[in-house]
Amino acid sequence: MQHLVTIENTGETFRCLEEDNVLRGMEQLQRKGIPVGCRNGGCGVCKVQVLGGLYLKRKMSRGVISAEEEAGGCVLACKIYPQSDLRVEVVGKMARAVEARKSASFDFGFATMTKINQPEEEK
Ligand code: FES
């Protein structure tokens, strides 16, 4: 079964299978600039704050996620599996890349819009 995951930093959404971890779903967005680390709960690069929804979690290194963080929903995207629609905020080292990419998208859209609005050449 698939669930909808929303990245609150950017408003982007993606579908993620219950048996796939959220980081794998994020990678499917195929956005450059998302740093992917160990994919195994040890480096902390994929830290997210879950704002809503249900998920299963697997063991995470205490070196990168404290028990208090985990209890408060701050977890590693590579170690959580959605069991309902989820809302997450990227808070780890990945956050800057995610938010920078959002700005880059805006710039690209503006450039495209400029081109579209140019008057057609007269023949
Ligand atoms: S990618 Fe290393 S902890 Fe998730």
DSSP 31-77: -TT-----SSSSS-TTEEEEEES-EEE----TTTS-HHHHHTTEEEG
Domain of 110 in residue numbering reads as 2-116
In the chain, % of residues over pLDDT 70: 77
Ligand 1 close to Cβ of residue 93 (< 6 A): no
Query: What's the mean pLDDT in 47-66?
Result: 95
Residue with tokens 């698939």: 2
For residue 123, is it within any domain?
no
Q: How many domains does the chain divide into? A: 1
Supply the CATH number for residue 74's domain.
3.10.20.30
In this structure, of 6-15, 24-33, 47-56, 58-67, the range with the lowest mean pLDDT score is 24-33
Q: CA–CA separation, 44 vs 65, rounded Å?
A: 7
For residue 48, is it within any domain?
yes
For residue 61, is it within any domain?
yes
Ligand 1 close to Cβ of residue 60 (< 6 A): no
What are 13-50's pLDDT values in tens digits? 999 999 999 999 888 877 665 667 899 999 999 999 99
For residue 91, is it within any domain?
yes
Atom 3 of ligand 1, residue of closest alpha carbon? 41
Q: How far is CA 85 from CA 29, 59, 91, 92, 109, in A?
A: 17, 22, 19, 21, 29
CA 46 to ligand 1 centroid distance, Å: 5
For residue 122, is it within any domain?
no
